[in-house]
Amino acid sequence: MTAFSNADAPTWPAAFAERYRAAGHWRGETFGGVLSERAAAHPDRVAVVDPAGVRREWTYAELDERASRLAAGFAARGISPGDRVVVQLPNVAEFIEVVFALFRVGALPVYALPAHRETEIAYFCSFTEAVAYVVPDRHAGFDHLALASKVKERTPSLEHVFVVGPPGEHTALSDVPCAPGGTGHTPEPHDLAFLQLSGGTTGVPKLIPRTHDDYIYSLRGSNEICGVDGDTRFLVVLPAAHNFPMSSPGWLGALYAGGTVVLCPGPDPATAFPLVERERVTMTGLVPPLALVWTEAGTGTEHDLSSLDLVLVGGAKYSEAAARRLEPALGCRLMQVFGMAEGLVNYTRLDDDHETVVTTQGRPISGDDEVRVVDDADEDVPEGGFGHLLTRGPYTVRGYWRAPEHNAKAFTEDGFYRTGDIVRRTSTGHLIVEGRAKDQINRGGEKVAPEEIENIVLGHPSVHDVSVVGVADAFLGERTLAYVILREGAEALRPAAIKRHVRERGVAAYKIPDLVEFVEAFPQTGIGKVSKKGLRSDAVPGHAAPAQH
Ligand code: OOB
């Protein structure tokens, strides 16, 4: 056992771990080992295609070699087993190289999104005491070098900034690799492999500790369900750091199966459709708003999408009406996926009848996924009834990283994760997501924690109080609305002033309130607390209340 397991991250009790091993779920594989095996089995197969700019492709042998050389280089620069490294890269081949190099070292990637800005990145770096931060030089018009300089100044633990591209005052990633000579350490299958970000319901995002054993099991299960094999060509449309495109079945699933990962530089059909045609893409995953855009664009497109066999849609509720339109428009099969970075992933199945595929969000990967649907007193509800979804199983974590107080609330005493989702379970075990009990806004698959934004808005000198809620939106599912009470005597503000304040604090653009309303007072509940439910049903005309409970 290495130093970074139990103390920081609650793990499975021994009896459960034994059961999952005995069942063949946890097979003692590690990511670094899997890549070596695939490279030995089929060195010349293409592992990664990065079509941006000058098209690059790496075979399994090349990816393996690159990851080993980079791992050796990281180790030579003092990056050690258990160290945290914040990785903030767009969908570029180096993302995969860096992550496998860190897996080989036994250092933990902390997956930031390209959209994250100074507030989030500084928090990830300081909370995890990261020793390194990996960035592009620029992306989507944003200067990541400047951000990295600011974060480095603020974070004493941060020794290295590695840059994909011209490095400025930092270190070029391309200068790091050296002769592979082993890193002197072999990660164990039960070790942590990385820290994934949670959608979050609290003021700061929580980090999710995933092990090689548990995550690889979810890949293997996902691959089986989705039919991923060596012929699969998986297009990574969503940001590669998200759990969904990473593992459901995602780019890691495709690599596990010996297939090919095609990295998509942007999610719009104008970027993606030509790639589907040129790279003969067979599979991809989309959030519902993107699935709508692809469905619109698919009808009558001049691009040949005939290679596309399966499109997974998840991350937020996909409406039945939209689900019915996808297959004819894109000429492929649809699978719904309802997952969470904490673990549990549900899929509709390839042999489910059409109605099940368009009306449910699927059933769990594993027979050992324990699912409970309970009332407010944690009592099971009768089959088909609405309730809170609780889950525990071979790839659902037992707690967040370094968050004992939060864990006591987010998990039951016997280790079930409180997902915060309200579901119904059909007689076939399929789940239908009916709403949400957690204080979180699902903005087209991107999760926003109201508390995080409220804390920032409260920092505005004219603001007395604020409450951020979700309001229904035909395209995104939900948008964010900030109700703001100004201080007595404060001059009237425009909504734009609040939005600018949030933006200037340096957070991901998707967290900036879409709408701002100035009010005199918030609706109260019986016990005098602000009622978020009241705020939603009071939402300004034209904003219907979303499906929440
Ligand atoms: C995925 O992961 P996260 O961690 O960003 O968000 C999880 C939450 C769920 O608890 C649920 O509230 C919501 O996102 N969600 C859905 C959904 N899929 C996720 N709500 C309704 N319908 C769906 N199909 O979002 C994620 C992780 C792995 C695979 C797919 C999605």
- Structure confidence by residue, pLDDT tens digits, 496-520: 999 999 999 999 999 999 999 999 9
Q: Residue 199: CB within 6 Å of ligand 1?
A: yes
User: Nearest 5 degrees, angle CA 312-CA 197-CA 90?
Assistant: 65
CA–centroid distance, 441 to ligand 1, in Å, is 12
241 contacts 230 by C-beta, under 8 angstroms: no
- State the pLDDT at residue 161: 98
Burial class (CB in 10 A: 0-12, 13-18, 19+), 372: middle
The answer to whether 335 and 357 are in contact (CB under 8 A) is yes
Q: Is the CB of 522 under 6 A from ligand 1?
A: no
Q: What secondary structure does DSSP assign to 296-359, as a single string? A: HHHTT-SS--TT--EEEEESSPPPHHHHHHHHHHHTSEEEEEEEETTEEEEE--TTS-HHHHHH
Element (H, E) at 103: helix 93-105
Bridge partners of residue 346, in order along the sequence:
338, 364
**What confidence score (pLDDT) does residue 527 get?**
65
What's the start-to-end Cα distance of the chain, in Å? 43
- 193's enclosing H/E stretch is strand 192-197
Q: What are phi and psi of 238, to 5 degrees?
A: -80, 165
In the reported structure, the alpha carbon of residue 419 is separated from the centroid of ligand 1 by a whole-number distance in angstroms of 10
Whose C-alpha lies nearest to ligand 1, atom 8?
A: 340
Query: Ligand 1 center to residue 287 CA distance, Å?
Result: 9
- Answer yes or no: is the C-beta of 447 below 6 A from any ligand 1 atom: yes
**Ligand 1 pocket residue status of 243, Cβ below 6 Å:** yes
206 lines ligand 1 (CB under 6 A): no
What confidence score (pLDDT) does residue 481 get? 97
Query: Parallel, antiparallel, or unpaired: how do β-strands 370-374 and 363-364 relate?
Result: unpaired
Cβ of residue 339 lying under 6 Å from some atom of ligand 1:
yes
Contact assessment for residue 43 and residue 59, using Cβ atoms and an 8 Å cutoff: yes
* Cα 288 to ligand 1 centroid, rounded to whole Å: 11
Ligand 1 close to Cβ of residue 417 (< 6 A): no
CA of 338 to the centre of ligand 1 (A): 5
Query: What does the DSSP assignment read for 1-55?
Result: --TTSTTTS----HHHHHHHHHTTS--S--HHHHHHHHHHH-TTSEEEEE-SSS-
Nearest-angstrom CA–CA distance, 415 and 412: 5
Verify whether ligand 1 is closer than 6 Å to residue 345 (CB atom).
yes
Question: Do 451 and 457 contact (CB within 8 A), yes or no?
Answer: no
The residue type found at 246 is M
> Is residue 376 packed enough to be buried (19+ CB in 10 Å), middle (13-18) or exposed (0-12)?
exposed
pLDDT along the chain (549 residues), means of 10: 61 98 98 98 98 97 98 97 98 98 98 98 98 98 98 98 98 95 84 95 93 98 98 98 98 99 98 98 98 97 98 98 98 98 98 98 98 98 97 98 96 98 98 96 97 96 96 96 96 97 97 97 75 69 45
Cα dist from 163 to 67, 147, 405, whole Å = 16, 12, 36
Q: Is the CB of 111 under 6 A from ligand 1?
A: no
Is the CB of residue 410 below 6 angstroms from any atom belonging to ligand 1? no
Per-residue model confidence (pLDDT) at position 547: 44
Rounded to 5°, the CA angle 363-366-368 comes to: 120
244 lines ligand 1 (CB under 6 A): yes
pLDDT value at residue 539: 58
Cα(226) to centroid(ligand 1), Å: 17
**pLDDT tens profile 413-454:** 999 999 999 999 999 999 999 999 999 999 999 999 999 999
